[in-house]
């Protein structure tokens, strides 16, 4: 394993030794994360990968997370590219990004091929109508779910709800018209 000398300066010049990570290791590590993680757990897995492998210091990782929030695009993909770039330059960034995105791309390609091959079967259309209804209901109930998480055991208007109201009126239990919601998501009469 080859060691790279990296100089960073804050107030004084400090030199650290960092092992050079192989391109194959970068690709396979991000491929595994892309294959096994979903939702906000992806960010935790990416951070754990970087810290457990000692690829970057915690300060470098946090600075990178802060920086990639300014980039357009998905935060997790940008962070994977950042770490790959810090480890092996442009090639590392390309391989980290490709490894991270490839499982999703393959899954969507396979599901699309299945849909086009089996789309005319009689049971496929009702299945997708049911899935569409499920997604619509989850989206409709999302504000009420957040209200339950923010409520303070029956108090109608607690400080956490005020914060949520500032961010999203629906999250705090209010309809965009300003009228409060009744339990079950119905808007109170004017």
* Boundary residue ending a domain (72, 102, 118): 118
* Dist CA 97 CA 92 (whole Å): 8
Domain range holding 26?
Answer: 3-118
pLDDT given for residue 138 in this prediction: 73
Helix, strand, or coil (residue 122) = coil
Instruction: Tell whether 190 and 112 lie within a shared domain.
Output: no
Proportion of the chain above pLDDT 90, given as a percent: 39
The H-or-E segment that residue 80 falls in is helix 75-118
* Boundary residue ending a domain (99, 118, 137): 118
Query: pLDDT digit string (tens) for 12-36?
Result: 333 356 678 999 999 999 999 999 8
Instruction: Tell whether 80 and 156 lie within a shared domain.
Output: no
Tokens representing residue 173 in the block: 């239990």
Q: How many domains are contained in the chain?
A: 2
Instruction: Tell whether 56 and 86 lie within a shared domain.
Output: yes
Instruction: Tell whether 137 and 67 lie within a shared domain.
Output: no
Instruction: Tell whether 129 and 114 lie within a shared domain.
Output: no
Query: pLDDT digit string (tens) for 4-18?
Result: 545 444 433 333 566
pTM for this predicted structure: 0.60
* Dist CA 62 CA 175 (whole Å): 37
* Dist CA 54 CA 73 (whole Å): 26
Q: pLDDT band at 144, cuts 50/70/90?
A: low
Query: pLDDT digit string (tens) for 101-143?
Result: 999 999 999 988 988 888 788 888 888 888 888 877 777 766 6
> Which residue would you say has higher pLDDT here, 41 or 144?
41
* Boundary residue ending a domain (118, 147, 175): 118
Instruction: Tell whether 93 and 150 lie within a shared domain.
Output: no
**85 and 97 in contact (C-beta within 8 Å)?**
no
Those residues whose C-beta lies under 8 Å from the C-beta of residue 164, and which sit 6 or more positions away, are: 146, 150, 171, 172
């Amino acid at each position: 394993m080859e060691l790279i000398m990296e100089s960073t300066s804050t107030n004084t010049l400090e030199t650290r030794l960092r092992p050079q990570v192989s391109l194959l290791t970068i690709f396979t590590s991000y491929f595994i994360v892309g294959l096994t993680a979903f939702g906000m757990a992806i960010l935790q897995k990416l951070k754990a990968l970087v810290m457990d492998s000692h690829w970057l210091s915690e300060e470098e990782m946090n600075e990178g997370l802060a920086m990639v929030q300014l980039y357009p695009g998905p935060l997790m993909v940008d962070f994977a590219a950042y770490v790959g770039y810090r480890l092996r330059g442009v090639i590392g960034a390309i391989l980290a990004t490709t490894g991270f995105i490839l499982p999703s791309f393959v899954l969507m390609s396979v599901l699309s091929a299945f849909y086009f091959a089996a789309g005319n079967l009689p049971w496929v259309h009702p299945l997708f109508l049911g899935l569409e209804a499920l997604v619509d209901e989850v989206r409709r109930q999302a504000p009420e779910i957040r209200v339950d998480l923010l409520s303070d055991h029956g108090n109608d208007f607690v400080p956490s709800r005020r914060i949520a109201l500032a961010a999203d009126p629906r999250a705090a239990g209010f309809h965009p018209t300003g009228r409060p919601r009744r339990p079950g998501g119905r808007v109170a009469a004017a």
